[in-house]
Chains A and B, each alone.
Chain A
Amino acid sequence: MSTHIAVRDLCLHYGQTCVLKNLSLEIQRNEIFTIIGPANSGKSSFLQTLNRLNELSADFRKTGSVTLDEEDIDTIDVEQLRARVGIVFALPFPLPLSIFDNISYGPRMHGIRQKTQLADLVERSLREAYLWDEVKDRLHHPAMNLSGGQQQRLCIARVLAGQPEVILFDEPTSGLDPISTARVEETMMVLRDRYTIVLVTNNVAQAARVGTRTAFFLMGEMVEVGATRDVFTRPSDSRTDEYVTGKFG
């Protein structure tokens, strides 16, 4: 195991509001790092820092450093960074294009024009996201016609097509039924072999099912981090214990 992402003394602010205080942690290569915690604990803000998406809000500020493969993410070209660190949002947002065009969007923006190369990428990404068999006959139909679960796997495939190293999941199953949720979780388990995964979830049981290591965030602070089994069976902090056993949150 080697460190893929290292976070040191990270503080995040939106205007006057501090959403994350003094966070330091390391994320290993090829693990599923899960982050749990109640609403407003800074989980999603942290996640969107990793590919600098929250820079889109005008009043966002950050201090401290995040490195990807020992390179400061602020020195990496932001478009390259977002291709290397992909994100899957809570709600599936397909673009109003065909399935094929949705998945080839990222690669095309990075200058891949060749039809055969794009077709290969689309097929490989869809297979990796376990969607190929369901959509292979209608690649040129609008992506908006897919079911919610299929749309979410489409969004995963779309991220994979950018050939990332890290995939961020921001509560990816909060809008899905249990069966679709199970499929997305299976996909994540398989993807772990090739990618580093950071999963933010409201669903404590999900973190327990898929996590390698788990961090518990509460009100902008990381209360605890450790192997998922340890965090769930013998937490070192009483607040973690109360949260994972469902006493609050």
Chain B
Amino acid sequence: MLVVLPVLVILSIITYKGFSALSFDFIFGMPESGMNAGGIFPALLGTIYLVTGAILIAVPLGVMSAIYLVEYSRDNAVSRLIKLAIVNLAGVPSVVYGLFGLGVFVVFLGFGVSILSGSLTLGIMILPVIITASREALESVPKSFRTVSLSLGASRWQTIRHAVLPHALPGILTGTILGLGRAAGETAPILFTVAAFYLPTLPESVFDQTMALPYHLYVISTQVPGVREDFRFGTALVLLLLVLILNLAAIVLRYRFRKKKRW
């Protein structure tokens, strides 16, 4: 109960104070008169772009790493080093990722402050979540599936592709959506790499800056004086709902795959 209580309190305060701001114009409108009126659409769209970009980067890389670790590597110094690196990557504070992104993607690689830099930074941040979830999913596929598949003359890759991956997919999906939720909510990594204070237009390419929900929330709460209270809580509510919907999707997907599981 002690755990449930703060969640309920936070949810109810945000809903109570922010619900009145929610409207079609608020969600799908552009900000007006110094962000004190209009909507949050550029920030919402920016967050969706960033999350999509991060997933496109992290999922292929993460799943391939997990496949290497579980199916190909033997237990030696190299694979232990990789596993150690993943654990450490998971423990790095998000603001450090932001600084890393600034140094490598924005400055060194010259992507500038852009959606590309921000997506790459977020992608690297959620990589450990995706690798760990994928590894667990692959390891939970019974060994007999691999033996049977190989004994029928399938190659190693065919075995992974047809006898292992399909059964690991639900776990990989769950990990992906958890990473998605985290990428949507983080402020620090996008602070230095992509987020704009205020933009009058929507981004047009991956090299443009964009507004993003978490940073927008920070801006209207602390940087711009006198923004209406219901706007601030309304923005928080939209962000919260976005993450909640993503997590809910993960739970539903996992449930549906579990029901289909037949061993």
Q: Chain A residues near B148: list those with CB within 8 A.
A: 89, 93, 95
List the one stretch of A4-12, A79-87, A191-199, A227-235 in contact with chain B. A79-87
Q: Are B153 and A109 in contact (CB under 8 A)?
A: yes
Supplied contacts A95-B148, A106-B153, 16 more A-B pairs, CB within 8 Å? A53-B151, A79-B154, A82-B150, A82-B151, A86-B152, A87-B151, A96-B167, A96-B263, A105-B154, A105-B162, A106-B152, A106-B154, A109-B153, A109-B155, A109-B158, A144-B262
Q: Are B155 and A79 in contact (CB under 8 A)?
A: yes
Q: Are B144 and A82 in contact (CB under 8 A)?
A: no
Q: Are A109 and B162 in contact (CB under 8 A)?
A: yes
Given contacts A95-B163, A109-B158, A109-B162, contact A162 B263 (CB under 8 A): no
Whether A32 is near chain B, meaning CB under 8 Å from some CB there, is no
12 A-B pairs, CB-CB below 8 angstroms?
A: A53-B150, A79-B153, A83-B152, A83-B153, A86-B151, A86-B152, A96-B167, A96-B261, A96-B263, A109-B152, A144-B262, A159-B152
* Assembly CA distance A158 to B163 (angstroms): 15
Q: Are B154 and A51 in contact (CB under 8 A)?
A: no
Q: Which chain A residues numbered 76 to 127 have a C-beta less than 8 Å away from chain B?
A: 79-83, 86-87, 89, 91, 93, 95-96, 105-106, 109-110
Q: How many A residues touch the partner, as a band?
A: 20 to 34
* Assembly CA distance A82 to B150 (angstroms): 8
Mark each residue of chain B from 193 to 232: 1 if its CB lies under 8 Å from any CB of chain A, else 0: 0000000000000000000000000000000000000000
Given contacts A93-B144, A95-B163, contact A142 B150 (CB under 8 A): no
- What total count of A-B pairs have CB within 8 Å? 60
Q: Are B262 and A96 in contact (CB under 8 A)?
A: yes
Given contacts A58-B74, A96-B263, contact A105 B149 (CB under 8 A): yes
Q: Chain B residues near A83: list those with CB within 8 A.
A: 152-153
Determine the residue in chain A with the shortest Cβ distance to B167.
Answer: A96
* Assembly CA distance A199 to B165 (angstroms): 33
Determine the residue in chain A with the shortest Cβ distance to B142.
Answer: A93
Q: Chain B residues near A105: list those with CB within 8 A.
A: 149, 152, 154, 162
Whether A1 is near chain B, meaning CB under 8 Å from some CB there, is no
Whether B145 is near chain A, meaning CB under 8 Å from some CB there, is yes
Whether B147 is near chain A, meaning CB under 8 Å from some CB there, is yes
Q: Are A82 and B152 in contact (CB under 8 A)?
A: yes
* Assembly CA distance A162 to B154 (angstroms): 11
Q: Which chain A residues numbered 128 to 177 have a C-beta less than 8 Å away from chain B?
A: 142, 144, 158-159, 162
For the complex of A and B, 10 pairs with smallest distance between CB atoms: A83-B153, A106-B152, A82-B153, A109-B154, A93-B144, A96-B262, A79-B153, A93-B148, A144-B262, A87-B151
Contact among B144, B152, B155 for A158, CB-based, below 8 A: B152
Whether A179 is near chain B, meaning CB under 8 Å from some CB there, is no
Determine the residue in chain B with the shortest Cβ distance to A145.
Answer: B262
Q: Chain A residues near B162: list those with CB within 8 A.
A: 105, 109
Q: Are A144 and B154 in contact (CB under 8 A)?
A: no
Write the nearest CB–CB distance from B145 to chain A, whole angstroms. Answer: 6
Q: Are A144 and B153 in contact (CB under 8 A)?
A: no
* Assembly CA distance A105 to B150 (angstroms): 11
Write the nearest CB–CB distance from B192 to chain A, whole angstroms. Answer: 45
* Assembly CA distance A159 to B147 (angstroms): 13
Q: Are A53 and B147 in contact (CB under 8 A)?
A: yes
Write the nearest CB–CB distance from A9 to chain B, whole angstroms. Answer: 26
Determine the residue in chain B with the shortest Cβ distance to A101.
Answer: B162
* Assembly CA distance A79 to B147 (angstroms): 13
* Assembly CA distance A124 to B65 (angstroms): 41
Q: Chain B residues near A95: list those with CB within 8 A.
A: 145, 148-149, 163
Write the nearest CB–CB distance from A139 to chain B, whole angstroms. Answer: 16
Write the nearest CB–CB distance from A122 to chain B, whole angstroms. Answer: 14
Q: Are B153 and A80 in contact (CB under 8 A)?
A: yes
